[in-house]
Amino acid sequence: MALNYQKVMSLPLPEVRHRYTEKDTMLYALGVGVAQEDATDPAELRFCFERDLQALPTLAAVLGSDDDGSWAAESGIDFVRMLHGGQSLTVHRPLPASGEVLVTTTVDEIYDKGVAKGAIIVMTRSLRDAASGELWATTSMTAMLRGDGGCGGNPGSGPAPHPVPERAADHRVEVATRQDQALLYRLNGDFNPLHSDPAFAAMAGFERPILHGLCTYGIACRQLIRQLCGNDAARVTRLDARFSAPVMPGDRLLIEIWNDAPGQAGFRCSVPARGVLALNNGLFCYRV
């Protein structure tokens, strides 16, 4: 079944109520590599130990992700060939270490690149406190629909990326990932078999399961907080990035950071050993 543009744009997506605990917050932090290299570092324990626990802001990207995705299948999206293309996060108030959220999702647009090039879908999620209705965070996801070009969507290209400076980076951080990183990260709710099932990964054109783009995104966020925010996650207000190429579990990452202006930085993340740029056009905003 081909993607039905009009049907996707008019679908009523379900509201999701999600109660999460401090255990979930700590599991998420471990899933993005917190305390991986030093389990006694107080700066790391801040995100994975219940005493004075802080939630990483990118936790917002997985809260309310229990939606089974059946709407995508019903609308004709080729799920096997769908790849996460980019992520944006705006933090309206720091996430508490535990709580209950209502998550609403909308499809903003589908950009049709043509039969040979596929399509791009942009979706927005709003996270509100279930009791008060206060807006906690807004996330925007861009996905590449590699099998759905020619669907009749908007011929545009979507939001323009944040430019990365050509000069040398102001900060360079190397971070290791684990062989089982995707298996650990998926416990946060993203059970896409592309990240766990070798046979499914082969169907999608990969030699083996790849790391979740949102895991790499969370790893980058944690390092940006360390480098620019004095290890205080409550100072983060925005994090945008494009996913340029997959990270394989076990890859060693290089995160490069440029100070653009007070409270703003650009960044990218690469895998030097494979010559791969994984995250590009990164934008990080924070309270100074």
User: Which residue among 190, 240, 251, 260 is the active-site one?
Assistant: 190
Residue 236 bridge partners (DSSP): 286
Tokens of 210: 């790849």
Q: What is the pLDDT of residues 188-208, one digit of tens each?
A: 998 989 999 999 999 888 999
210 is catalytic: yes
Distance CA 150, CA 114 (A): 5
Distance CA 211, CA 195 (A): 6
190 is catalytic: yes
**By the 8 A CB rule, do 119 and 78 touch?**
no
Distance CA 145, CA 282 (A): 22
Average pLDDT over residues 215-243: 97
pLDDT recorded at residue 13: 82
Distance CA 226, CA 222 (A): 6
Q: How much is the pTM? A: 0.91
User: Which residue among 18, 195, 212, 219 is the active-site one?
Assistant: 195
Tokens of 82: 């769908």
120 is catalytic: no
225 is catalytic: no
Residue 256, H or E segment = strand 252-261
Q: What is the pLDDT of residues 120-175, one digit of tens each?
A: 889 999 999 999 999 999 999 998 887 667 777 777 666 788 998 889 999 999 99
